[in-house]
Chains A and B, each alone.
Chain A
Amino acid sequence: MKLPIYMDYSATTPVDKRVAEKMIPFITEEFGNPASRSHPYGWTAEKAVEEARRHVADLVNADPKEIVWTSGATESNNLAIKGIAEFYSKDKGKHIITVATEHKAVIDAFRELERIGYEATYLTPEPNGLINIEKFKAAIRPDTVLASVMFVNNEIGVIQDINSLGNICREHNVIFHVDAAQATGKVDIDLTKLPVDVMSFSAHKTYGPKGIGALYVRRKPRIRLQAQMHGGGHERGMRSGTLATHQIVGMGEAFKIAKEEMHDENKRIKKLHDQLLQGLTEIEEVYVNGDLNHRVPHNLNISFNYVEGESLIMAIKDIAVSSGSACTSASLEPSYVLRALGRSDELAHSSIRFSIGRYTTEADINHAIDLLKQKIGKLRELSPLWEMFKDGVDLEKVEWAAH
């Protein structure tokens, strides 16, 4: 068993070896610029780029012409949100809607728009992480131009009801953007049926390389957006910059494999998820974050009460996971996603995100369960909060000397 065991697939995934093999020739031999129209170097590269575009489109049942290459989901989100807001605000208005639990790439793009005069609504999800459809509907105003909701949450793995949200947007003539970075290869996406106008994708969350992503821009009805990167007019003017052929080929191959294998893979991962959930919930005072039914099995976010997150991460260094506590950075802020669900600071601080994937084995899961049981026990022995809890002290009523 290779230590530490990787259980942070929501942060990034390894490039599948089949993907890496496909990419290599485009770094060395087939190095042409896909925009070079005058010689075979360019033609070969262009053909590879278009084949990859087809694979990406196929996974989400879109037309290849609806796929625009970007550097990743952060850029896709920025291009979608700022590009649409800019293009449509003159006619429709300057109100935009998103959710407090979105990825920072969406939240911060919204903040930037607020800075230049837009008005934003950040919806608070229900305690299970899901958006209340009625509250979403109520947030829409006559001047609402755009709504942005992520498909699968990166921290807690919940799947939003994109179909219902999209239908509401259609009824009210609001353009609907969906960040699907964590969704590809995990949930079925059919853009011929889903009422979504623009959708962001990332390669490296789906066994492709880092530094490449895509934006789906619907053609029927046609969605327009203002370019954010100006230059040679690549990607039909929506995103200039020489295409990174090898990265694009990698993303295409990764998405092709995802389409072929996702159903079998997800069944296997569901089993591992259930095994992990079963094992960890045998520990006292643990809380699963995010709805247990509307979630991808790849993610399990659990709070271990009375244990601090960073010390827990240290204790379980045999497994590579993420903590909901941002203590590791200079700020002492706990996860804003868990806070938005109404979790207490303590529970947010003591949360661990396990995210499993293609190369996770049953033995990995068993090792993680054993390790957690042992270390949680040890840290609780050390914890004055656990002692107080066991003595029947109500920690909510204690007056803490905050610092």
Chain B
Amino acid sequence: MAYSDKVLDHYENPRNVGSLDKNDPNVGTGMVGAPACGDVMKLQIKLGKDGLIEDAKFKTYGCGSAIASSSLVTEMLKGKTLDEAESIKNSAIAEELALPPVKIHCSVLAEDAIKAAINDLKSKK
């Protein structure tokens, strides 16, 4: 399968790989997908004192498009409010990465991961 240059770039040089302390009250963790389906995304966001997302980290088990989608999302999230973050749509991710139709589910998963991370963060407040 041919991947877009942007997918390849994120795949070869993934941004913000890693983990934040999931017990930190300012860290929200979202884990979506299932190994049996071939993708699992873990997305973590850290809220700064100013109410903006100051850090985002990910780890993804999945195809190149899934890795690229989550890597891209960590870049998009930084500096956003939670409301702004919540409004990120999968279509924006798919468009930015030029995902083919069979890979749209990767962007849907990334959107789900954002929502899950935000929900986790809110539940701690």
- Residues of chain A at the chain B interface (Cβ within 8 Å): 306-311, 314, 325, 327-330, 332, 334, 344-346, 349, 381-387, 395, 400-403
Contact = CB atoms under 8 A, between A and B. Distances in A.
| Overall SS of chain B's interface | mixed
Contacts of A383: 59-61
A400 B35 contact: yes
Contacts, number: 90
Given A307-B61, A311-B63, A382-B60, A400 B36 contact: yes
B17 A403 contact: no
A310 B63 contact: yes
Contacts of B59: 382-384, 387
Nearest to B42: A384
The 4 A-B residue pairs with the shortest CB-CB distance in the complex, in nearest-first order: A400-B34, A345-B36, A384-B42, A310-B63
B109 A403 contact: yes
Interface centre among B61, B102, B112 (most CB of A within 10 A): B61
A248 to B, nearest CB: 35
Nearest to A329: B102
Nearest to B100: A330
A400 B112 CA distance: 13
Nearest to B103: A327
Given A308-B63, A383-B61, A395 B35 contact: yes
Interface centre among A309, A327, A395, A400 (most CB of B within 10 A): A327
A403 to B, nearest CB: 6
B93 to A, nearest CB: 15
B40 A400 contact: yes
Contacts of B35: 344-346, 349, 385, 395, 400
A73 to B, nearest CB: 26
Interface string B41-82: 110000000000000000111111011000000000000000
Given A311-B63, A325-B38, A384-B42, 20 more contacts: A308-B62, A310-B63, A310-B64, A311-B64, A311-B67, A327-B38, A328-B1, A330-B102, A332-B37, A334-B38, A344-B35, A382-B60, A384-B61, A385-B35, A387-B59, A401-B31, A401-B34, A401-B112, A403-B105, A403-B109
A325 B38 CA distance: 9
11 contacts: A308-B63, A311-B64, A311-B66, A314-B11, A344-B36, A349-B38, A382-B67, A383-B61, A387-B42, A401-B31, A401-B116
Nearest to A307: B61
Contacts of B40: 384-385, 400
A311 B37 contact: no
A324 to B, nearest CB: 11
A381 B17 CA distance: 8
A303 to B, nearest CB: 12
A37 B62 CA distance: 61
A344 B3 CA distance: 28
B38 A308 contact: yes
Contacts of A307: 61
Nearest to B108: A403
Contact of B37 (A328, A385, A395, A403): A403
A283 B119 CA distance: 38
A384 B1 contact: no
A309 B38 CA distance: 8
Nearest to B59: A384
A385 B40 CA distance: 8
B97 to A, nearest CB: 14
B120 to A, nearest CB: 12
B91 interface: no
B19 interface: yes
Interface string B99-111: 0001001001100
A306 B62 CA distance: 10
